[in-house]
Amino acid sequence: MKNKLFFSKMHGLQNDFMVVETLTQKFFLNKKIIQSFSHRNTGVGFDQLLLIESPKVKNTDFNYRIFNFDGSEVEQCGNGARCLARFVFYKKLIKKKKIIVSTKNRIMILKIKNKNKVLVNIGSPNFNPKNIPCLSIIEKDIYSLKINSEKIFFGAVSIGNPHCVIIVNDIFKAPVQNIGSILESHNFFPNKVNVGFMQILNKNNIFLRVFERGVGETKSCGSGACAAVMVGIKQKKLSNVVNVILQGGSITIKFNPKKNCIYMIGTANHIYDGYIYY
């Protein structure tokens, strides 16, 4: 007998998700099931599966897990965090608009601002090479690797998950697929890496495209937006409040240097509810 699973389809700036809660239902999760669900012709279709579980950490409301469409589990997803907040409030799993969730490696505070905007307290950026992780003995503002006989310069940071950010002159001509796929699995990054391509318009505005680890290029990436801004601030090229323009829309990233904390403000949209047998 097949199992019946209820879910919601949501998106944050066209970064799309299948959202499943296991508070009121069981989900017998494995890599093959996730891959079958993620197929855009024969399944639900999504960039990531978001799993909402009962709290595992004291003083939190939920535990939050993220799986790429290839079935791999990752540590962080900023766009997904906004969708999670809207989902639990919309489904009346919680009444308050301030929601505290645990992930694989941090605690996040989510605040529903209005009908579809959510503020996410992402936490602190981490530039320590051991914690990104990347194979550098010392922390640098700018790293370099030789790719296809060309030297590529980039910044690197962890936003709960690993990111490298390349500054480009023209975002529309950037070799996102080629360089992104090579850097994603380069041995310089032991846990693989998300690769951002950033065009700086001025200190308060950037264009960004992101090749996501285990997914490929997506319409937007919340943690990638945070990473790009933090790399830009570290290199003294951006201010502490930046509008990030992605293919799926715009998002605001704010950095509080006194608290060493990143805040992300953007939309989260519910598309439909459904169920699937597996």
Torsion sign (Cα): 58, 163, 247, 182 = negative
User: How far is residue 90 from each of residues 26, 100, 117, 196, measured CA to CA in Å?
Assistant: 20, 16, 13, 32
**What is the rounded CA–CA span in Å between residue 140 and residue 234?**
10
Give the DSSP per-residue string, 156-171. Answer: EEESSSEEEEEE-S-T
- The reply to whether 77 belongs to the active site is yes
How many Cα atoms are found within 13 Å in the side-chain-facing hemisphere of 38?
22
Q: Is 224 helix (H, G, I), strand (E, B) or coil?
A: helix
How do 48-53 and 62-68 pair as beta strands?
A: antiparallel
Coil, strand or helix at 275: strand
Separation of alpha carbons 174 and 125, rounded Å: 25
Tokens of 135: 């194979």
Q: Could you confirm whether 134 is annotated as catalytic?
A: no
Q: Residue 97: is it exposed, middle or buried by C-beta count within 10 angstroms (0-12/13-18/19+)?
A: middle
Peptide bond into 133 cis (omega under 30): yes
From 83, 134, 164, 221, the catalytic residue = 221
User: Which one is catalytic: 77, 134, 164, 226?
Assistant: 77
Indicate which residues carry an active-site annotation: 77, 221
